[in-house]
Amino acid sequence: MRARPAAVPAWALAAALLSSAPSAAAPPAGDVYELSRSREIAILTVSAASFAASRLFWDGLGREPCPCDAGSLNSLDRGTAGRRGASTASDVAVALAVAAPFAIDYLDIKSGGSSAGFDRDAVVMLEALALSSGVNQLVKTATHRPRPLLYGLEPGDPALNEADNYRSFYSGHTSSAFAVGVAYARTYALRHPGSDAHWAVYGGAVLAGAAVGALRVAAGKHFPTDVLVGAAVGTAIGLLAPALHGPKPLGGGSISYAPSGLVFRITIPLR
């Protein structure tokens, strides 16, 4: 497998939705997000450019000779070196994890008697997916970590010559699942302020993303640390995308002094 074009539909579909969605200084009644054509175009341009730049160097940079030595890995990853398996389950899982938030959001909004506002939610979630995919592809292109499945192969094995097999860091499937899931959880919390159900939505997003990550490790596509970083990056982007569209800011931060040094505090609202 040479490349994952999933990022292209994400930013392309977001652009299509944006072209048909009304632009307003403030969201209409029932909506939780503001859309600005200039801001959305900037976000989608960054996403598309990141993906396109990674494609230019996908086959040429970040390669290292294998077979690989598992002794060079940290203790957490070492146990998964040489693991191989079918990745179909993880592909299906990430497709479901990404699609489900859109379907649930539509049904949630529709239950109020109208689907108004879904297009704005969809743009925000698609931007989270596009940003997650673009950043992931750039990082993969700039790094050269062999996938677990390359460990233990004999010299001359065809898998050693596939560029994608040197793109283990970090897990794009996991990052995408967390980005869209967390973006929807934040959307739900904004649409239903005061509801305790939003914790269940956040929990569902985490469980879905974790399941995708576990399947990627089981398939020999990623190390545990690849999945952990993918989860962290996806979560950050999943919170960032809604924050860029109001009405509540992502959070606040402060720096204070302590006997042991500087103390950094960051507040991230989840409801």
Place of tokens 């307003």: 24
Q: Distances from the Cα of 101 to the Cαs of 78, 111, 219, 251, in angstroms?
A: 34, 15, 25, 23
Q: How many CB atoms lie within 10 A of CB 87?
A: 18
For the stretch 192-197, contacts whose Cβ atoms lie closer than 8 Å and that sit 24 or more positions apart, written own/partner, are: 193/271, 194/271
Cβ-Cβ contacts under 8 Å for 92 (sequence gap 6 or more): none
Predicted local confidence at residue 28, as pLDDT: 56
Across 198-214, b (16+ Cβ under 10 Å) vs e yields: beebbebbbebbbbbbe
Query: 186, 238 in Cβ contact below 8 A?
Result: yes
| Residue ranges in 111-246 assigned as alpha helix (H) | 118-142, 172-191, 198-218, 224-243
Q: Note the pLDDT of residue 237.
A: 95
The rounded distance, in Å, linking the Cα atoms of 48 and 237 is: 16
Q: Which two tokens stand for residue 53?
A: 């730049």
**Does the structure show a pLDDT above 50 at 5?**
no
- pLDDT tens-digit profile of 91-143? 999 999 999 999 999 999 988 767 778 888 999 999 999 999 999 988 998 88
Structure tokens at 55: 């494609």
| Average pLDDT, integer, range 229-243 | 95
Which position has the token pair 């190390």? 223
- Please tell me the total number of residues recorded for the chain in this structure: 271
User: What pLDDT, in 10s, does the model give residues 35-76?
Assistant: 888 888 888 888 888 888 887 777 765 556 677 888 889 999
Q: Which residues of 228-245 are buried (b: 16+ CB within 10 A; e: fewer)?
A: bbbbebbbbbbbbbbbbb
